Chains A and B, each alone.
Chain A
Amino acid sequence: MTEAIAFGIDPDLWPCGLVVMNETGQIELTNATLREWLGIDPSDQCQSLRFVDVLSRAGRIYFETHLRPLLLMNGHFAEISIDIERSDGTRFGVFMNGRATLINGRMINAHFCVFKNEQRRSFERELVAKRRESDEFRSLVRSSPQAIVSVDRDLIIHAWNPAAEDLFGYTEAEAIGERFDSLLVTPEDQETMADDLLHIATGETLRSEAVQLHKDGRLLHVEKSIAAINDKTQEYSGFVAIFSDISARKASEAKIQVLLEEINHRSKNLLSVVQVIARQTWRLYKGADFFSAFNNRIASLTSNQDMLISSKGSNVDLESLAHAQFAHLIDPEDPQVVISGPAVHLSKSVTQAIGMAIFELVTNAAKYGALSKEAGAVTLSWKINDMPSPMLEMSWIETDGPPVIVPTRKGFGYQVTGPLLEGVTSGQTSREYATEGFRWTLKAPLDRLTQ
């Protein structure tokens, strides 16, 4: 230091720590400021210490893996934030600059100056915490199973996560920069959306089920949640929208609704069938005979229902299937009912559908049609028409029943004897509300029924 003092510069007066390190890493000189910070006797030049000894342990690794190589290769480094550690283990943060004296690539010594930066350090920590937080947040958004879209006040899309790519079909690159409303909102919803935005801007979070557009034009059922983003001055600066796909839930809700209607229809039907059974049985049997006949008919109704409902149907002959649908109402030899046709061995897949259709026809006939009257009769017959390819032609003809009333609505019964049956058999059905009695036909390719 003598030389420096000779120039009138006393390093001890400088408000920063100064250190000179020799080639081997030992400390050669320190100034008083640094020694004071380190809590070291002012007269001790710290020459027994290596420079790394005044760094934290993590700092030593950083120094040896980055800073010393930098000094050797580049001759200097600057603005390094690092911790200095006192012998008692306490630390303080500094900014450090370093410069090496290199001769032929060999480091003769290195000069460091350090500035305490405790106050800046807390700010720095805050920045690091913010960065980590935003990294975490980013990965949260990226990995979210919900589509997350952020939109500015001009409705321009700024963020579009992978789940949004999956849900709406647009890639991130395609979506960013586009208008939210033109990409996702259906024409019908444009007006509501403008209204919604006014609410959002006031700080409301909107949650609702909605229909949005997919890239390919189809409509998506989604649950959405939209909330405002406010800038630092609490001004509205856009919104973030979160969507989850509820089309599966919507489909199952619709399915449940159909099932409920079906259950309702069937229970009402079954109850009226039971009424019909009671009435008809009472006509033929009295006293103890009534109960046993009634029980038998109810039992046969139950077993037929079991067979029809169970999806594990078995191959059944069409004639016995048809008989089974009447068993609960009338004796097979009852002249009211004529069942005739050639032997047709139905495959499992169609047994249920054909059985249910016949049961539906029987039930209707017993409730409102020919079988509700003693004189009425039903003929269920079928034949095979070989031209041009084998077709089953089945017909249901009611005669001598009450006046025929054309139903005003198409209920579940219509589905079972119409579209559902057509779907399963690849066939065609027809119905005719003729004055002399209701008629129904089914024409279906035989190979679809017997496979």
Chain B
Amino acid sequence: MTAVEHCAVKITGSGEKTIVFLHGYGCDSGMWCKVAPAFENDFRVITYDLMGYGKSATEHYDPVRYASLDGHVDDLVAILDELRLKDVIAVGHSVSAMTIGLAAKRRPDLIDRLVMICPSPSYANDGDYVGGFEKQDLLGLLDILDVNYLGWARDMAPLIMGVPDRPALGEELTESFCQTDPDIARHFAKVTFLFDHREDVKMITQPTLVLQCRDDALVPPTVWTWLMDNMQNADHVILDATGHCPHVSYPEATTEALVEFVRPRVVS
């Protein structure tokens, strides 16, 4: 099985240039449904489910491989290689902002521009660095995950994988949004919230758009400041939006900022 199949890669739109969207922690590629279509006229648009989420081949979720973001970086690199793509624009939300950053560092030939939506290189406070959370808070998330399966039951797994030729499929998929194997959710929560990628983001040289929401419970302004001070080649845009998922709650504003960034630069 290829990485393209593993991660349920969806290719839409057409254009010289490709944009690949990576969803963040919590849900799946359905998160992009209000933003990605806006790019289909001018770009080849790729969305996919991170391993363990959505319609990915969760039976291949290997806790060792995905014990750090490297496993997800491997997947992104493999997908782009399998599709023979170079110089794509990578858009990553939340934790996936770090995934695309790591991939851009490892394989500069694959990614020539990055968009990081609500990124935080490290959620845990550390000395002068204010990530917004104490380690204890972050571990508390694991307790919440332990008691909230969001309707997940192992019997439902086949439904979530999707069975073609079934009329009720669309409805089921909507219902399955955000449903994740609790063990995987717990594991990925650790990878997402307990790692420190501050040194990694300093190494990104490609032009990067950093989109933050003016009020995000997960990413305090101290983190914006840190990113502004430490990233080599980044534009920082603060959206007049609240929450951690502007592409879901404020799709127009998010799309507008993205369009502005990806539009071919015209020499004035």
Instruction: Give A contacts to B, CB under 8 Å.
Output: 23-25, 50, 52, 56-66, 68-70, 72-74, 77, 80-83, 105, 107, 124, 127-128, 131-132
- Among residues of A, the one whose C-beta sits closest to the C-beta of B174 is A74
Q: Is the CB of B31 within 8 A of A69?
A: yes
B27 touching A69, Cβ below 8 Å: yes
Q: A25-B242, A64-B216, A77-B150 are in contact. Are A70 and B144 (CB under 8 A)?
A: no
Whether A57 pairs with B27 at a CB distance below 8 angstroms is no
Q: Do the beta carbons of A68 and B244 come within 8 Å of each other? A: yes
User: Which of the residues B144, B145, B148, B217 comes within 8 Å of A64, measured between beta carbons?
Assistant: B217
Q: How far is the CA of A173 from the CA of B146 in the complex (A)?
A: 30
14 inter-chain pairs at a CB distance below 8 angstroms, sorted by A residue, are A23-B249, A25-B215, A25-B242, A57-B137, A59-B140, A61-B217, A65-B244, A65-B245, A69-B245, A69-B248, A72-B248, A72-B249, A80-B148, A105-B34
Q: In the docked arrangement, what's the CA distance between A83 and B137, Å?
A: 12
A70 to B178, CA, bound (A): 7
Is B66 an interface position by the 8 A CB rule?
A: no
* Interchain CB contact under 8 A, A24 and B242: yes
Task: Compute how far the CA of A63 lies from the CA of B24 in the bound complex, rounded to whole angstroms.
Answer: 14
Contact of A58 with B218 at beta-carbon distance under 8 Å, contacts A24-B242, A70-B178, A73-B30 already known: no
A128 to B145, CA, bound (A): 10
Instruction: Say yes or no: A59-B147 contact (C-beta < 8 A), given A66-B178, A105-B34.
Output: no
Give CA–CA (A73, B173) in the complex, Å.
Answer: 11
A57 CB contact (under 8 Å) in B31, B133, B242, B243: B133
Q: How far is the CB of B24 from chain A (nearest CB, A)?
A: 7
SS of A interface (majority): helix
The winner among B30, B133, B175, B178 for most chain A CB atoms within 10 A is B178
CA distance A65 to B133 in the complex (A): 15
Shortest CB distance B4–A (Å): 25
Known A57-B133, A58-B144, A62-B144: A73·B215 in contact at CB below 8 Å:
no
Contact of B48 with A by CB under 8 A: no
Contacts A73-B30, A107-B249 given; does A61 touch B143 at CB 8 Å: no
Do B137 and A58 touch across chains, with their CB atoms under 8 A apart?
Answer: yes
Please state if B193 and A61 are interface contacts (CB–CB under 8 Å).
Answer: yes
Minimal beta-carbon separation of A93 from chain B (angstroms): 9
Q: What is the bound-complex CA distance between A77 and B145, given in angstroms?
A: 15
| 10 tightest A-B CB contacts, nearest first | A58-B140, A65-B26, A57-B137, A64-B244, A60-B217, A58-B141, A24-B242, A52-B217, A81-B147, A25-B242
Which parts of B73-114 form the interface with A (CB within 8 Å)?
94
A24 and B215 form a contact (CB under 8 A): yes
Is there an interface contact between A66 and B174, defined as CB atoms closer than 8 Å?
A: no
Which partner residue on chain A sits nearest B180 by CB separation?
Answer: A66
For the complex, give the distance between the alpha carbons of A310 and B242 in Å.
85
Contact B245 A72 (CB under 8 A): yes
Per-position binary interface string of chain B over residues 13-50, scored 1 when its CB falls under 8 Å from any chain A CB and 0 otherwise: 00000000000111100110010000000000000000
Does any Cβ of A come within 8 Å of B138's Cβ? yes
Docked-complex contact A59 and B144, CB < 8 angstroms? yes
Task: Please tell me if the beta carbons of B243 and A66 are within 8 angstroms of each other in the complex.
Answer: no
Smallest beta-carbon distance A220→chain B, Å: 32
Kindly provide the distance from the CB of A114 to the nearest chain B CB, expressed in whole angstroms: 14
B177 in contact (CB, < 8 A): yes
A105 to B244 Cα, complex, angstroms: 17
A70 touches B217 (CB 8 A): no
Q: A128, B143: Cβ atoms under 8 Å?
A: yes
Contact in complex: B248, A73 (CB < 8 Å): yes
* B binding-site residues for A, Cβ under 8 Å: 24-27, 30-31, 34, 94, 133-134, 137-141, 143-148, 150, 174-175, 177-178, 193, 215-218, 242-245, 248-249, 251
Query: A56 contacts which chain B residues (CB < 8 A)?
Result: 137, 140
A50 to B147, CA, bound (A): 24
B144 touches A65 (CB 8 A): no
Contact residues in A for B34 (Cβ distance below 8 Å):
105
Could you say which residues of chain B place their CB within 8 Å of the CB of A58? 137-141, 143-144
Residues of B within 8 A of A65 (CB): 24-27, 94, 218, 244-245
* CB of A84, distance to nearest CB on chain B (Å): 12
Check A73/B177 contact, CB under 8 A, given A66-B26, A128-B143.
yes
Tell me which residues across on chain B come within 8 A of A61, comparing CB atoms.
Answer: 133, 137-138, 141, 193, 217-218
Chain B residues, CB < 8 A from A105: 34, 251
Q: Which chain A positions have C-beta within 8 A of B217?
A: 50, 52, 60-61, 63-64
Bound together, the chains give a CA A60 to CA B30 distance in angstroms of 22
Complex CA–CA separation, A52 to B244 (angstroms):
12
On whether the beta carbons of B31 and A82 are closer than 8 Å, the reply is no
For B137, what are the chain A residues with a Cβ–Cβ distance below 8 Å? 56-58, 61
B147 partner, pick from A63, A72, A74, A124, beta carbons under 8 A: A124
Q: Which of A57, A59, A80, A107 has the most chain B CB atoms inside 10 A of its CB?
A: A57
Q: Check A74 against B216 for contact (C-beta < 8 Å).
A: no
Report A-chain residues with C-beta under 8 Å of the C-beta of B25.
65
Q: How far is the CB of B245 from chain A (nearest CB, A)?
A: 5
| B243:A68 contact, CB within 8 angstroms | yes
Q: Once the chains are docked, how many angstroms separate the CA of A65 from the CA of B138?
A: 13
Task: State whether A64 touches B218 (Cβ < 8 A).
Answer: yes
8 Å CB contact of A68 from B134, B249, B251: B249
Instruction: Point out which of B30, B133, B134, B144 has the most chain A C-beta atoms below 10 A from its C-beta.
Output: B144
Question: In whole Å, how far is B220's beta carbon from the nearest beta carbon of chain A?
Answer: 11
Of A25, A72, A81, A107, the contact of B144 (CB 8 Å cutoff): A81
- Least CB separation from B145: chain A residue: A62
In contact, A73 and B218 (Cβ under 8 angstroms): no
Q: How far is the CB of A264 from chain B (nearest CB, A)?
A: 55
Q: How far is the CA of A127 from the CA of B148 in the complex (A)?
A: 12
Nearest A residue to B252 by beta-carbon distance? A106
Q: How far is the CA of A65 from the CA of B192 in the complex (A)?
A: 11
Contacts of A63 in B (CB 8 A): 217
Kindly identify which residue among B146, B174, B243 contacts A73, using a CB–CB cutoff of 8 Å.
B174
Q: A50-B217, A58-B140, A58-B141 are in contact. Are A66 and B193 (CB under 8 A)?
A: no
Instruction: Give B83 Cβ to nearest chain A Cβ, in Å.
Output: 27
Contacts of B147 in A (CB 8 A): 81, 124, 127-128
Distance of A107 Cα from B245 Cα, bound (Å): 13
Q: Closest residue to A22 on the B side, CB-wise?
A: B242
CA distance A70 to B215 in the complex (A): 19
Collect the chain B residues with CB atoms within 8 Å of residue A124's CB.
147
